[in-house]
Homo-oligomer: A and B are copies of this chain.
Amino acid sequence: MTTIKDIAKKANVSTGTVDRVIHNRPGVSEKTKAHVQKIIKEHNFQINTIASTLALNKSYKIGVLIPEARAENEFWSEPKKGIETAIEEIKNFKISATFFKFNQFDSNSYQDAFLNLIKGNFEAVLIAPVFHKETAKFIKQLDKKQTPYVFINTEIKGFNALSFIGQDSYKSGYLAAKLMSVMMTDNAQILIPVFRLNKGNYSSINNRITGFKAFFKEKYTSVKIKDLVIPNFKNLEVINNTLNEALKNDIVDGIFVPSSSSFLIAECLENSQLNHIRLVGYDTNKKNIEFLKNDTIDFLICQNPYNQGYKGIKLLSDYLVMNKTPKPIYPSPMTIVTKENVDSI
């Protein structure tokens, strides 16, 4: 292995000078700089990150702003696990993470958490920007401090994020439609129940619906798709009544749930013994998997949330430690989950 010492000897300079050249530090004449650079190239020298981190003796603190995982929706426990695994892997580089949690249905708690995050003065930041407007409001302060930030899960545009890691919601809706289509026959009827969620999630759920409808408009015009607004998603009875009312009027062959709450619909279908209705939804939370396994849900599309967290941290660590600039977008795979492969995902 070529070391700085070797390069110094070949170039007839000291290791200090080589170090200055490598890191583009001032105080080197153009002449020797060029000379050293030439020799570095000739020997294909690359710095030993191990020795470098040891010598630097620096520590990096990463701030993480993601929703808290709730009992009824464990989605956000997955990114958290991914983040923790990544941190565990790189803790030798003196990288640590501090979590700032918020309620994903309450924009105020998002703002509070964001402010605390900013106060923390982190070297880098990982954000699930669930709320668009509120993000716009505070993100400037990170820009000002030149703090690099990465977005996961929710894609919002027009910011200086280092990277976005997540799915294209439109495409994932389109995929959901494909899966639904293989189970449908001509003139089938499909229902899309939408819970009244807050605006934050609205955009990606909307995109999924748009993608879903686009597929059928392109390929199977005989299939009819109806929307169904469910006023309250906390109360199973309300869901049950609203759904049954809708199912009374029409013969429904398939239901597409554009959120991670398909288990709520599944439960209603089971109660009304309507399990023959095909069900496609999102995310592999515990309850969804339960209904997937007993054949009430047919397909789930998984966003690989664990990996979003893991990758986000790895990306930032590479950026901080190795100075590697990441790609602007890392699309999360749209993983199709069925009863038969759920255990291997």
Q: List residues of A whose CB falls within 8 A of some B CB.
A: 1, 48-51, 53-54, 92-94, 167-168, 171, 174-175, 178-179, 182-183, 215, 298, 331-336, 338-341, 344-345
Nearest-CB residue, chain B, relative to A57 = B1
| Contact among B1, B50, B178 for A53, CB-based, below 8 A | B50
B171 near A344 with CB under 8 A, answer yes
Apart from the given pairs A215-B340, A333-B341, A333-B344, 18 other A-B contacts in the complex at a CB distance below 8 Å: A1-B94, A48-B92, A49-B92, A50-B50, A50-B92, A168-B344, A171-B340, A175-B340, A175-B341, A178-B338, A178-B340, A182-B182, A182-B183, A333-B335, A334-B344, A335-B341, A336-B338, A336-B341
| Contact among B92, B331, B338 for A344, CB-based, below 8 A | B331
Given contacts A94-B1, A344-B167, contact A335 B335 (CB under 8 A): yes
Contacts of A174 in B (CB 8 A): 340
Contacts of A92 in B (CB 8 A): 48-50
Shortest A67–chain B CB gap in Å is 23
A175 near B54 with CB under 8 A, answer no
B182 near A50 with CB under 8 A, answer no
Nearest-CB residue, chain B, relative to A278 = B182
Shortest A224–chain B CB gap in Å is 20
Nearest-CB residue, chain B, relative to A314 = B89
